[in-house]
Amino acid sequence: MARKLLLEHINVPQINTLAVYREKGGYRAVEKAIKNMSPEDVVEEVKKSGLRGRGGAGFPTGMKWSFLAKPEGVPRYLVCNADESEPGTFKDRYLMTHIPHALIEGMIVSSYALGAKTSYIYVRGEMMPQIRILERAIEEAKAAGFLGKNILGSGYDLELYVQPGGGAYICGEETALLESLEGKRGNPRIKPPFPAIAGLYNCPTVVNNVESIAAVVPILNIGAEEYAKIGIERSTGTKLISASGNINKPGVYEIELGVPVEEFIYSDEYCGGIANGKRLKAVVAGGSSVPILPANLILKTAKGDNRLMTYESLADGGFATGTMLGSGGFVVFDEDQCIVRNTWNFTRFYHHESCGQCSPCREGTGWMEKVLHRLEHGHGNLSDMDLLVDVSKKIEGNTICPLGDAAAWPVASAIRHFRDEFEWHVTHGEESQTGNYGLAHYADPLEPVI
């Protein structure tokens, strides 16, 4: 069994309460940090652990913390990004629902490390139950002396607030989130300056994902060196993966980074194989924003090595033959899934969610959706694939925030790997039914890489 650091006690009854969470060792990291460590020690420990941001980009957390500006007399903020709206990603919601104190404890330790006296958890607005769960957990932590004035008699004060999100995917982009938190429309800001210099209310701010912040607790409990021993290369520790699609056991799994993709899909410890005895066709490994890979390339790299669940291995081959770990939203497609229909569906989402500030994204996502719609409904023509690639290239890299890239990559990769399926729609001139159109994109685990 893989080691569990975040979900070890997930099945303990009432682990959502402070009493049971503490019985299982909860709030030891707060005591350790506040009583025995300086804020700089905590930052150093997180740096040494090799923890990388779990929100999608994988930026080293300790390094981000060390960039935080510390001008005299200016407040600093820690903001937790719990907006989680990426299609296929539901790991943060799971953690907040079942073990809210894991996040609250992480927020206290991380705020202490950064010298923040006011911190926020910005939760996707639709997640009202989770907002209530977190608010209750904050009240419990406050009553026990872990929050508020003079925490554990140390002289350190911290107020922690939960802010319901603005109800748009773009509010998960860190600078749009800060705008929204300030009460404005969630439009991304031009960077630089980065939030570490000028963030919330123009003050130095760190924005981190729920899982990144929660991971600081086990890092302090087991020590950075022990944490860094888990995983491979620059992918240290454990990672929550939300697995969905055509698998036998959809759900949230905590993996040790480095588990082979094949094992993750087929073993009973995780996804339990493809549902209904079907064959694997494709995987979106890191939430809807990352390139889709056909079965042969998700199981093995183009060099023929086993693909592993790490930042490096999933990216092996660049976008020509690789993808990204992203947010850990692992969506599995079986042989009956239509790639054109799914790509159209993702693109509809990005078009709807584009904030509209940048023309390439605002207009480009609309055009891509239109072309994909006509392809899917049998009215496309053979030049449409080149047109889509052209539009996607004109969006990529030409927008203020990465939502444009997130919209472009799924389309470009679907055409790169499944062009014949797009052509099928044109030549057959009809809407997709289920069925794999006789195209052999599925692969068995031991099938050689093409």
Ligand X SMILES: Cc1cc2nc3c(=O)[nH]c(=O)nc-3n(C[C@H](O)[C@H](O)[C@H](O)COP(=O)(O)O)c2cc1C
Binding site for ligand X (CB under 6 A): 53-57, 59, 81, 83-86, 169-170, 172-174, 207-209, 212, 401-403, 406
Give the nearest distance from C-beta 170 to ligand X in angstroms: 5
d(CA 182, CA 319): 36
Nearer to ligand X, 18 or 411 (CB): 411
Nearer to ligand X, 6 or 443 (CB): 6
C-alpha 102 chain-centroid distance: 18
In sequence order, the 6+-apart residues with CB closer than 8 A to the CB of 258 are: 231, 232, 235, 308, 309, 310
DSSP 72-132: TT---EEEEEE---STT--HHHHHHHH-HHHHHHHHHHHHHHHT-SEEEEEE-TT-HHHHH
Please identify which residue in the block is written with the tokens 């200016």.
Answer: 74
Helical H segments across 144-287, by residue range: 174-181, 210-222, 224-229, 261-266
Give the nearest distance from C-beta 392 to ligand X in angstroms: 16
Q: What residues pair up with 163 in beta bridges, in sequence order?
A: 122
Nearer to ligand X, 26 or 328 (CB): 328
Give the nearest distance from C-beta 94 to ligand X in angstroms: 14
Of 409, 410, 401, 411, the residue nearest 169 (C-alpha): 401
Give the nearest distance from C-beta 220 to ligand X in angstroms: 17
d(CA 328, CA 420): 28
Nearer to ligand X, 39 or 286 (CB): 286
Nearer to ligand X, 138 or 355 (CB): 355
Give the nearest distance from C-beta 139 to ligand X in angstroms: 25
Give the nearest distance from C-beta 292 to ligand X in angstroms: 18
Question: What one-letter code names the amino acid at 35?
Answer: K
Give the nearest distance from C-beta 438 to ligand X in angstroms: 37
Give the nearest distance from C-beta 405 to ligand X in angstroms: 8
Q: What residues pair up with 77 in beta bridges, in sequence order?
A: 118, 205
Of 49, 80, 82, 84, the residue nearest 205 (C-alpha): 80
- Residue pair 32/80 in contact (Cβ under 8 Å)? The answer is no
Lateral strand order in the sheet of 238-245 = 251-256, 238-245, 329-334, 280-284, 293-294
Nearer to ligand X, 52 or 281 (CB): 52
Nearer to ligand X, 86 or 421 (CB): 86
Nearer to ligand X, 403 or 408 (CB): 403
